[in-house]
Amino acid sequence: MQPDALVPRSAFPLYLASSSAWMAAISLQGFLLSWMLVGILELPGDQVGYGRALIEAPALFVLILGGLLADRVDGRSLLMRMHLVIGLPSVALAVCAAVDWLHFAAVLVWGFAIAGLQSAADPARQAMLSRVAIIDVQRTVTIMTIVTSLVGLLGVWIGGQLEAVGLIEVLTLQAALFAAGAIAVHRLPAMPVRAPLGRPDLLGGLRSAWRLPLIRNVIGLNFLSSLFNAGAYVVAVPFIVKEVYGGGAEFFANVIIVFTAGSIGSNIILLRFMPLTWPGRLFLVMQLTRVVILALLYVRPSLPIFYATILAWGLNMGVTTTLVRTTVQELAPESHRAQILSVLLLSFMVSAPISSMLLGNLIAGYDPLTALLPGIAISLVIFFVGVARSGLWRYRAT
């Protein structure tokens, strides 16, 4: 990957600033959605699972459209519009809360709107990273992850103050964070399309990813991982906090902060050793460490060990997510980069409604800790299949 010669070096800090504001608001979104369903509305596990599926499933189609659009329009203009529009659903939900109409349907519409707009914007943001980068792609992706995750902790901390500050005020702050990112986007240079345009092909990214075996295999294994590993974090952890440890919104926020701190720490460590020669091998070995982590959480450890294990889970997920991102970003051809990256994002997002329904029903039928067990089996499958069939073990990064 080479940076765009027409884009000044000052574009990267501006890109980081806009992405950080976006991440802070999206991190707050993830916290609020989970806690509104579990902690405020106090819905059972199966209803939470189906609710999250209804929120996240329609955004999958929007993500494919976003990838197609990002390869054909000025990325800066698209992001500018998204930053200004995406805060409106939060303002509307704040109004619902003010008139005492915070019901399941209102939360569903709010979550659906944010998820859809995020899906429309993310491929353009991801594709722009290759154009504003000033160093190799591995370190560029890792630096962006570290910075945006650190700022994302601000969003989670704001969510943790929900019971003290109030839901209306927190939703208003979320809308302000989205809007603040537009200031940095406005100062970015134009990002016109560089690749020649043919006829719009909605499935172009899927076809391109399928024709590149390593990209196809990385995305496929990432889908499996997201299904029951990331899915367990998103779906099971709020119930573990509330039902197993008897915690509230602040405790839930602390758990997310500890997890995110682990993710940030892992990226700082990765940055020290980048560029990595054998990223695929590290990705596969991390699957074995995740088996140990999930097993420790399953036995309901004491609170200090619980926090330590959540930190280790964050370290693990931070490494694997960054390695998947850097591998796909390096290998994707420029002509379809945004669309291929949208397929990668799709692998995360397709898993979300599926895992929400599966794990939600598992929690409703048994207990929150049971939702950790599928992740143990899937991690072993990913390791053995990845070593034998994916090509990741032999992949040497250039």
Among residues 227, 240, 236, 218, the alpha carbon closest in space to that of 378 is found at 227
Reported confidence tier of residue 380, pLDDT bands at 50, 70, 90: very high
CA distances (Å), 354 to each of 27, 120, 368, in order?
21, 21, 17
Q: Which residue has the higher pLDDT, 248 or 67?
A: 248
Domain for residue 4, yes or no? no
Reported confidence tier of residue 381, pLDDT bands at 50, 70, 90: very high
Tokens of 349: 């997002």
Domain for residue 395, yes or no? no
* Domain of residue 155, residue span: 11-190+202-390
Phi-psi region of 44 (alpha: psi -120 to 50; beta: other; left: phi over 0): beta
Q: How many domains does the chain have?
A: 1
Question: What CATH number did the domain enclosing 354 receive?
Answer: 1.20.1250.20
Residue 6 has pLDDT above 60, yes or no: no
- The pLDDT, as a whole number, for residue 357 is 80
pLDDT in tens, 205-224: 667 777 778 888 888 898 88
Domain for residue 280, yes or no? yes
How high does pLDDT run on average in the chain? 85
- The pLDDT, as a whole number, for residue 271 is 86
Domain for residue 279, yes or no? yes
Among residues 152, 134, 153, 119, the alpha carbon closest in space to that of 14 is found at 134
Half-sphere exposure of 385 (CA within 13 A, CB side): 13
Place of tokens 């579990």: 38
Residue 200 has pLDDT above 60, yes or no: no
pLDDT in tens, 153-176: 888 899 888 888 899 999 999 999
Place of tokens 């949208």: 342
Residue 3 has pLDDT above 50, yes or no: no
- The pLDDT, as a whole number, for residue 8 is 66
- The pLDDT, as a whole number, for residue 1 is 44
Reported confidence tier of residue 307, pLDDT bands at 50, 70, 90: very high
Q: What is the 3-state secondary structure (H, E, C) of the chain?
A: CCCCCCCCCCHHHHHHHHHHHHHHHHHHHHHHHHHHHHHHCCCCHHHHHHHHHHHHCHHHHHHHHHHHHHCCCCHHHHHHHHHHHCCHHHHHHHHHHHCCCCCHHHHHHHHHHHHHHHHHHHHHHHHHHHHHCCCCHHHHHHHHHHHHHHHHHHHHHHHHCHHHHCHHHHHHHHHHHHHHHHHHHHHCCCCCCCCCCCCCCCCHHHHHHHHCHHHHHHHHHHHHHHHHHHHHHHHHHHHHHHHHCCCCHHHHHHHHHHHHHHHHHHHHHHHHHCCCCCHHHHHHHHHHHHHHHHHHHHCCCCHHHHHHHHHHHHHHHHHHHHHHHHHHHHHCCHHHHHHHHHHHHHHHHHHHHHHHHHHHHHHHHCCHHHHHHHHHHHHHHHHHHHHHHHCCCCCCCC
Residue 195 has pLDDT above 60, yes or no: no
- Residue 141 has φ and ψ, to the nearest 5°, of -60, -40
Domain for residue 398, yes or no? no
Q: Which residue has the higher pLDDT, 333 or 102?
A: 102
Residue 188 has pLDDT above 90, yes or no: no
Rounded percentage of the chain residues whose pLDDT exceeds 90? 33
- The pLDDT, as a whole number, for residue 377 is 92
- The pLDDT, as a whole number, for residue 199 is 56
pLDDT in tens, 79-120: 899 999 999 999 999 999 999 888 899 999 999 999 889 888
Domain for residue 1, yes or no? no
Domain for residue 195, yes or no? no
- The pLDDT, as a whole number, for residue 287 is 93
Q: In the predicted model, what is the mean pLDDT of residues 4-8? A: 57
- The pLDDT, as a whole number, for residue 206 is 67
Domain for residue 38, yes or no? yes
Reported confidence tier of residue 194, pLDDT bands at 50, 70, 90: low
Residue 309 has pLDDT above 70, yes or no: yes
- The pLDDT, as a whole number, for residue 193 is 66
Sign of the CA dihedral with 66 first, then 71, 77, and 83 last: positive
